[in-house]
Every structure is written in C-alpha cells, then in structure tokens.
Amino acid sequence: MKQKVLFVCVHNSARSQMAEAFLKQMAGGRFEVESAGLEPGKLNPVAVEVMKESGIDISRNKTKSAINLFKKGKRYDYVITVCDESQSGACPVFSGRGERLHWGFDDPFRFEGTHEEKLQQTRRVRDQIKETLRHWISNKISPPNSPNLL
C-alpha cells in the first residue's frame, strides 16, 4: 500500500505544486501524492516555467483547497508544509495520525524584480525542493547502508 503524502502551502500555486510533481517523478510508485493550499490561488507562471526546464509540465494542474481535502475526510501518512518561515503559522493543520514535517522555502509569489530575476529565484527554490525530496526519499525507501539510487 502506498504511503499518502500531502504538501501544503498558502496558495498551492508554486512550492507545493513543485514538491508534488517532483515526488511523483522521483518515487511516484511508492507514494500517493497531493498538494493543496489554505487559500488556493492560480498557478504561478514562473513556477510552471522553471518546472518545464526540469522536464515536468504542471501547467494543467489545478490548485486545491486544504480545507476541502480535510472536509472530505482525507488522511495522510505525511503532511509536509512548505511555507516560508513568515507564513508557517498560516498553513493548516490536519488531524489524524500522520507525521507532520515543515520544510520552509521562500515564496515565489513574493519575488520581485525583472522576469529573469524572478526566474533565478524560483529556480533556486525549485532546486532546494528537489534536493530536500531527494534526501527525504533516500531516507524513506533505501535500506540502511545501501547506496542512494536517486
């Protein structure tokens, strides 16, 4: 049975979407993955662009409400908030026995500057998310003392 993972951020427009997509790509056969936001917005076009650079198209993803998932009675083995530290208190709390993790990443919605500067900052967040997931997955599915195959 696949372990269920939910990534949560404020708008479900960038960080949680990227984390969901990367986990599906990197270990989707081992996890059932969703993402949601406290106040779902629309996908961040810069996040869509940098994910395409990584070979993943999230352009057709829909933002989802964490509250609606909760109301549907969804339960997860892992609820991972990816809000930055200034927003971590705004991320919803899910009831149940699942493990809660917090991985703070800067919010691409708040990035300022030219389009290229926003791209650079969002790439940094994308790469941080991917590396954090790579490490987390290797600890979850690799037996102790085995080589990391990811």
Task: List the CATH number of the domain containing 91.
Answer: 3.40.50.2300
Closest CA to 49 of 111, 107, 116: 116
Domain range spanning residue 45? 3-141
Q: Is 8 among the domain residues? A: yes
Q: Is 148 among the domain residues? A: no
Closest CA to 8 of 51, 43, 49, 19: 19
Q: Is 102 among the domain residues? A: yes
* pLDDT for 140: 77
> Which sequence positions are flagged as catalytic?
9, 83, 91
* pLDDT for 1: 85
Q: Is 146 among the domain residues? A: no
CA 90 – CA 5 distance, rounded (Å): 19
Q: Is 42 among the domain residues? A: yes
Q: Is 54 among the domain residues? A: yes
CA 10 – CA 40 distance, rounded (Å): 7
Q: For the chain, what is the domain count?
A: 1
Q: Count the alpha carbons within 13 Å of 100 in the hemisphere toward its beta carbon.
A: 10
Contacts of residue 50, defined as CB under 8 A and 6 or more positions apart, other chains included, come to 119, 122, 123, 126
| Greatest extent of the chain over all pairs of C-alpha atoms, in Å | 46
Each of the 150 residues of the chain gets a pLDDT tens digit; together they read 899 999 999 899 999 999 999 999 999 789 999 999 988 989 999 999 999 999 999 999 999 999 899 899 899 999 999 988 665 555 555 556 789 999 999 999 999 999 999 999 999 999 999 999 999 999 876 544 444 333
* pLDDT for 98: 82
Tokens of 124: 């940094």
Q: Is 97 among the domain residues? A: yes
Q: Is 150 among the domain residues? A: no
